[in-house]
Amino acid sequence: MPKFAYIAVDSAGKESRGTIEAPNQAQAVAKVRSMGLFPTAIGAAGGSEGGGAAKPAPAAKRAGPAGRKSMGQMKIEIKLPKFLRPKVKQKDLMTLTRQLATLVDAGLPLLRGLHVLQRQTPHVTLKEALAGMCESVESGSTFSESLLNYPKIFDNLYVNMVRAGEAGGVLEVVLNRLAEFAEKAEKIKNKVKGAMVYPIVVLIAAVGITGFLLVAVIPKFEDIFNDLLEGKPLPAITQFVMNASNAVMNNGLTVVLGIVALVVLFKLFAKTKVGRYLVDTAKINAPMFGSLVRRTAVARMTRTLGTLLASGVPVLQAINIVRDTTGNEVLVRAMQSVHDAVKEGESMTAPLAASKVFPPMVVSMVEVGEETGALPDMLMRVANTYDDEVDNAVAGLTSVIEPLMIIMLAVIVGTIVIAMFMPMIQIITTLGSQA
């Protein structure tokens, strides 16, 4: 039977390590809990098949706060500059939230749980943040207040949900919801990124191949054609390719700088309010990709709002948080209209329908949720539905993009090849007539 090494704490927060035998990791966790311990890390132990003693996996380090070393009674604390510290990724935050929810749900006091996570996390930035939160909570601040000191790690959504969980006495439930929310968001993000990998790789390959042909191959053919054709005019397609090659060779740096300048100007324009709205509108209405962008935005918005309302956050505050975290100016304006309508005592459905961003099905489900008092549940149903639609859209988009990119690459290379062979045919014909 497989052996698992575990690191766990008891109700007093004392850490213990050991190995247990279990059919799988889930049963190993259950076995550790049955011993009255709260597992914080567990994994396969070495030597489980050879019959030797299993060695606990070094899942957590006993080092103190990041950059702190001790020599005798002297402690030296070395802190990295902020720009050198690793950024806390969504995956790191998701893992931290899930672990904290498990500890709190198991009955461990919040402060003790923070200390446990601070000792075991290998992430320098998170370790430092957890140490600061421990000090803040020890000094009498609430958990949500301590989170406000680290806005780059914990956004408004996170802080407000924790605040609502503290007020309702259901912090562990809220933390689990946050972890689930982060997992869903990360899943969608990874799927969209995965769908874009292939076209980007093909596009880079197409640019590289085209550049190589224009710079290294075509100039040699130009010299050959000039010698053999003796000044006769080249076919139009050949002349076009030759002109493109000369432009790249003679003005390549200018073209690159021009492209860079256009990209910089576009980004600066996109940062303005008007520019951001126009760019986001173009994204939503773009052919092929627009449907995916719209579905992803709707899924994120409805899941965020549903999670906030289910956690006890007031509706106006929840709408403001969704508006500030949506990341799309079109949806920002739509949520502002919703906020204004709800503030006046009106329904959400009218401004949602007027925005023309949300499909009729979403508007209808929100309307039913408002009428039945089950708005959070309806919003989560919409989010789950659109998560599935995002999966289908990604699969469909991938199946369409792959042949299109291959065709594009074939057209570019084929055009260059045809442009080079047409003068060859002309030369062969001329030589044949002379013979």
Instruction: State pLDDT tens for residues 244-282.
Output: 888 888 877 887 888 899 999 998 988 888 888 898 888
Gyration radius of the chain over CA positions: 30
Q: Are 40 and 99 in contact (CB under 8 A)?
A: yes
Q: What is the mean pLDDT of the chain?
A: 79
| Domain architecture of the chain: domains with CATH | 3-58 (no CATH), 89-154 (1.20.81.30), 183-435 (1.20.81.30)
The CA angle 6-14-96, to the nearest 5 degrees, is 60
Instruction: State pLDDT tens for residues 63-107.
Output: 343 344 433 334 444 455 555 567 888 888 888 888 888 888 888
Q: Are 38 and 99 in contact (CB under 8 A)?
A: no
What integer pLDDT is reported at residue 246 of this predicted model?
Answer: 83
What integer pLDDT is reported at residue 251 of this predicted model?
Answer: 78
Confidence band, pLDDT 50/70/90 cuts, at residue 62: very low
Cα 385 to Cα 346: distance, rounded to the nearest angstrom: 26
**Among the ranges given (3-12, 65-74, 182-191, 361-370), the one the predictor scored with the smallest mean pLDDT:** 65-74
Q: Are 119 and 40 in contact (CB under 8 A)?
A: no
Does the pTM exceed 0.75?
no
Instruction: State pLDDT tens for residues 405-419.
Output: 888 888 888 888 888
What integer pLDDT is reported at residue 231 of this predicted model?
Answer: 66
| 435 vs 420: which has the higher pLDDT | 420
**Mean pLDDT within 373-385:** 88
What integer pLDDT is reported at residue 71 of this predicted model?
Answer: 38
